[in-house]
Amino acid sequence: MSDHDDRLAELTRAQRRLALGLTAAMMAVYFGFILLVAFDKPLLGRLLRPGLSLGTLLGVLVIVAAWVLIWVYVRWANRHYDPAVRALRGGPR
C-alpha cells in the first residue's frame, strides 16, 4: 500500500460516508412527510394562521431541505473533495 493508495482509500471512505449520510437524511425528511400524509391527515390540515396549513408549510420545507442538503454536499466537495482529487491526480499513478 503506497501513501497514494491510502489517501485514495481515505477519500473514497469520506465521500461514501457523506453521500450515503445525506441520502439517508433526504429519505428521512421525505418519508417523514409522506408518512404524515399517509397516517395523520388531520395534523397536516391544522391551520397555523389563516391560509397556512401545517402540511403546506412542511411541503415547502421538504423542498428547502433538498436545497440545503445539496448545498452541504457541494460546499464539502468544493472545499475538500476537489483539492484532494487534484492532489491525487497529480501524484504517482
Partner 1 sequence: MPAGLGTPQPVAIGFFFVFIAITLGITWWAARRTRTAEHFYAAGRTVTAFQNGLALAGDYMSAASFLGIAGLVATSGFDGLIYSIGFLVGWPIVMFLIAEPLRNLGKYTFADVVAYRLSGVPVRMAAALGTLAVVSFYLIAQMVGAGNLIKLLFGLPYETAVALVGVVMLAYVLFGGMLATTWVQIVKAVLLLAGATMLAGLVLWRFHGNPMGLFDAASARYGAAVLAPGQLVSNPLDAVSLGLALMFGTAGLPHILMRFYTVPDARTARISVSWGTAFIGFFYLLTFVLGFGAMVLVGREAIQSIDKGGNMAAPLLAAVLGGTGFLGFICAVAFATILAVVAGLTLSGAAALSHDLWVNVVRHGEAPEKEQLRVARGATVLLALLSIVLGIAFKGQNVAYMVGLAFAIAASANFPALVLSVFWRPFTTRGAQASMIVGTLSALVLIFLSPTVQVQILHHAHAPFPLSNPGLVTIPLSFLTGIAVSLARPDAKARDAFPGLQRRLHLGGD
Which residues sit at the interface with partner 1, rule CB under 8 A?
8, 11-12, 15-16, 18-20, 22-23, 26-27, 29-31, 33-35, 37-39, 41-42, 44-45, 47, 49-53, 55-56, 59-60, 62-63, 66-67, 69-71, 73-74, 77, 82, 85, 88-89
Q: Provide the minimum distance between the beta carbon of 3 and partner 1 in the complex, in angstroms, as a whole number.
A: 15
Give least dist CB 29 to partner 1, A.
Answer: 8
Question: What is the C-alpha separation between 69 and 75, in angstroms, rounded?
Answer: 10
DSSP 23-43: HHHHHHHHHHHHHHHHH-HHH
Q: Which residue has the cell 482529487?
A: 85
